[in-house]
């Protein structure tokens, strides 16, 4: 069994075991939970696994690969947000400055972007998030979020060719240029030959799987970076 499959199965076992009431806040006298919460990101690894399996027999594999890329970023954001909240705790009352600041931090976590999460991780945990993993993995994760932002804001994948100093230069629009250079570096796409084709391939199954695997690697490294995290 691959490490990836075991990761998914272990994740699904935990969700199945604890369900929607795994974060019980208050119980009445007979033990019935009056309040509970769950995080939507818990279910995305299973959705990603479903899409990866469905690609084999579905003509919508391109859409599924986009979904895998976007959902991989959601898993990271959800994981980090929950980890930070678990670490700092959450107050239900705001009687003094300490509890009000805690509430403000939790409220900001709920609205945080990728850059916000990196800051809140440092503020709450006291460590730079990038030190939890390898340099190459950290680079991959930042490219993933760059990719996610371009896709979720519906930025078209396109490039232009222009002659500079008698040499044809090809440049993608916006952050896609950095993504393209990264994929070239990782040998996940081919260099554009504008004479042969006006197409660029930045999304395929190999690319989607690469970022999902890098997501696994990142989450495992973060968990193993601190003994407290292993107990969560």
Same domain, 105 and 170: no
Element (H or E) spanning 13, and its range?
Answer: helix 3-18
Same domain, 107 and 190: no
* Residue 10: inside a domain: no
Per-residue tokens: 107: 């409220």
pLDDT at 159: 72
* Residue 1: inside a domain: no
Angle between helix 61-88 and helix 205-224 axes, rounded to 10 deg: 10
CA angle 199, 202, 205 (to 5 degrees): 115
Question: Per-residue pLDDT tens for 58-110?
Answer: 777 888 889 999 999 999 999 998 888 888 776 667 778 877 888 888 888 88
Which residues share a beta bridge with 26? 35
* Residue 4: inside a domain: no
What stretches of 33-127 show up as alpha helix (H) in DSSP? 44-54, 61-88, 97-110, 114-125
Same domain, 139 and 223: yes
Same domain, 47 and 100: yes
CA separation for the pair 48, 228 (Å, rounded): 28
Residue 176: give the domain boundaries: 158-202
Per-residue tokens: 130: 């990038």
Give how many domains the chain has, as a whole number: 2
Same domain, 72 and 170: no
Which residues share a beta bridge with 162? 169
Nearest residue to 216 via CA among 50, 38, 72: 72
Among 35-49, 61-75, 200-214, the minimum mean pLDDT is found in 35-49
Same domain, 209 and 101: yes
């Amino acid at each position: 069994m691959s490490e990836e499959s075991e990761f998914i199965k272990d994740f699904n076992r935990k969700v199945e075991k604890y369900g929607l009431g795994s974060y019980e806040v208050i119980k009445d006298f007979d033990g019935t939970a009056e309040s509970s919460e769950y995080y939507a990101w818990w279910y995305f690894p299973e959705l990603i696994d479903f899409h990866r399996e469905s690609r084999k027999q579905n003509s919508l594999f391109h859409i599924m690969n986009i979904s895998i890329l976007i959902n991989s970023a959601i898993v990271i954001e959800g994981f980090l947000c929950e980890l930070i909240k678990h670490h700092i705790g959450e107050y239900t009352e705001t009687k003094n400055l300490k509890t009000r600041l805690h509430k403000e931090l939790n409220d900001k976590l709920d609205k945080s972007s990728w850059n916000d999460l990196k800051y809140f991780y440092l503020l709450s945990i006291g460590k730079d998030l990038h030190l939890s993993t390898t340099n190459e993995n950290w680079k991959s994760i930042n490219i993933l979020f760059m990719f996610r932002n371009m896709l979720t804001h519906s930025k078209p994948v396109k490039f232009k060719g222009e002659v500079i100093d008698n040499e044809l230069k090809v440049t993608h629009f916006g952050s896609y240029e950095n993504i393209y250079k990264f994929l070239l570096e990782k040998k996940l796409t081919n260099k554009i030959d504008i004479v042969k084709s006006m197409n660029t391939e930045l999304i395929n199954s190999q690319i989607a799987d690469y970022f999902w695997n890098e997501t696994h690697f990142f989450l495992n490294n973060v968990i193993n970076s601190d003994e407290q995290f292993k107990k969560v």
